[in-house]
Amino acid sequence: MKRRKFLQTAAVVSAGPFVLPQASISQSTAHAAEKGSAPPWRFVSMPDFLNVDTDYPQQGWEDALGYILKSVKSEQPDFLVVPGDLVMGRWHHNPGKEGIAGIRHFADRYYPAWKARLEAHGLKWYAALGDHEVGDNPWRYDGALENVAAYKAEFRKHLGMPLNGPEHMKGTAFWWKHKNVLFISVDVFEEGESAQGAIRAGVTGKQLEWLEAVITQNKEVRHVVVMGHTPCLGPVRKWSSSGLMTTGGRESAFWQTMAKHKVSLYLCGEVHAITCTERDGVQQVAHGGLIGYNRRINYMVVDVYPDRLELTLKEIDIVPSGKKLWQPGNNRPLENVDISPEMQQRGYVAVGKVTLNDTASPRTFENRQGYFLKKYETSTDRAGPSKQLPRINLDGTVGD
């Protein structure tokens, strides 16, 4: 049986250009703002939330998670985007519940809990597919492609994202319009041989054609934001991460397509640390944290105006402690996560700012501070739970 069969969930896309149906537009939020007249609005990006399998409520964690989500809610975003790694997701590894049976069993347990937590805090959200939603890398084992197909089916079933992607990626690649912005979420976990096994991180073939069609058929928007789990540009800081990257990087057809169509922002996660890199007029922001392992986490506020995007990265310290919290598989966080009273009193602190100004062509990147300073655009810094990465402050100084 051909491998391709395992990753397809519908008929193969017919040859020729993509034509997007009008039903692909989220009618409740999709409308183009008149130039210069639309009021500002905002959304929040928080990749790798949670990157751990938790119940709801989760003993030892819920106070800290509640503080995090209350902080996000206090920003008054129209919605939250999570560029992958919602769960730990090693659901095919568990003795007694192995393979596809384990995938289905634990998806029924952990996805509803993840959703219930955000809904309890009144947050609307969109989520991209991460490697932990497809079993975690690497995929060098017999039956990997069958498992990946099952993982994607559970993501589609439980997360309920728009079903307007390419035919073989319905619900894992998708798009929506909100006010004056086009958002596109890509599924970077494509079938193909790589150092990771049977999956190669990238956006190619029919998915790339679809991406370009979505952009070209929605030219009335003021900004385009793409989210996918893996960074394209590097090197980037890595904190308790395997450091999965998009194949081909800046030279990939995926990145070149975003540059060609003047995409404003590429949001990604995976590396549990912050690196902000601009190339070819596109701002990549790799960020997020790893709760239960690392000692700092972050989110980014994006203020949207007709002629610009204002980005603010915010960070807070957390304290993981105790024994290991049980998870399917063998990668397990600590059983307690706290935010100290002092940290709660201080709150999240801004560690990076930049303005993407579209009043002239080409786009300019202004008022860079903290992680957005040019000198911090790339880094080979690595760390794990027992070693912290250096802290970059808003004024550009480096702390502990």
Distance CA 128, CA 226 (A): 10
Any idea what the CATH number is for the domain that residue 186 is in?
3.60.21.10
Distance CA 270, CA 228 (A): 10
Q: Is residue 91 pLDDT above 70, yes or no?
A: yes
pLDDT cut 70: percent of the chain above it? 91
DSSP, collapsed to helix, strand or coil, labels residue 74 as helix
**pLDDT per residue as tens digits for the range 317-346:** 999 999 999 999 999 999 999 999 999 999
Nearest to 344 by CA among 12, 106, 63, 2: 63
**pLDDT per residue as tens digits for the range 107-159:** 999 999 999 999 999 999 999 999 999 999 999 999 999 999 999 999 999 99
Distance CA 80, CA 45 (A): 6
Write down the mean pLDDT value for the chain: 93
Q: Is residue 13 pLDDT above 50, yes or no?
A: no
Domain residues for the domain of 16 are 4-399
Q: Is residue 35 pLDDT above 90, yes or no?
A: no
**pLDDT per residue as tens digits for the range 46-84:** 999 999 999 999 999 999 999 999 999 999 999 999 999
| Averaged pLDDT, 243-272 | 99
**86 vs 50, 128, 166, 183, 198, CA distance in Å?**
5, 9, 23, 19, 22
What's the token pair of residue 61?
A: 């964690």
pLDDT cut 90: percent of the chain above it? 88
Nearest to 230 by CA among 186, 265, 295: 186
Q: What is the CA radius of gyration of the chain?
A: 20
Q: Which residues contact 90 (CB under 8 A, 6 or more apart)?
A: 132, 135, 136, 327, 328, 329, 330, 331
Confidence of residue 41 (pLDDT cuts 50, 70, 90): very high
| Averaged pLDDT, 369-393 | 96
Confidence of residue 16 (pLDDT cuts 50, 70, 90): very low
Confidence of residue 20 (pLDDT cuts 50, 70, 90): low
H helix or E strand, kind and range, residue 54: none
> Which segments within 280-340 are labelled E, that is strand?
282-286, 296-305, 308-317, 319-324, 334-338
Do residues 313 and 353 lie in contact, with contact meaning Cβ atoms separated by under 8 Å? Answer: yes
Do residues 173 and 207 lie in contact, with contact meaning Cβ atoms separated by under 8 Å? Answer: yes
Q: How many domains does the chain contain in total?
A: 1
Do residues 187 and 153 lie in contact, with contact meaning Cβ atoms separated by under 8 Å? Answer: no
Q: Is residue 30 pLDDT above 80, yes or no?
A: no
| The residue type at 72 | V
What is the pLDDT at residue 217? 98
What is the pLDDT at residue 120? 99
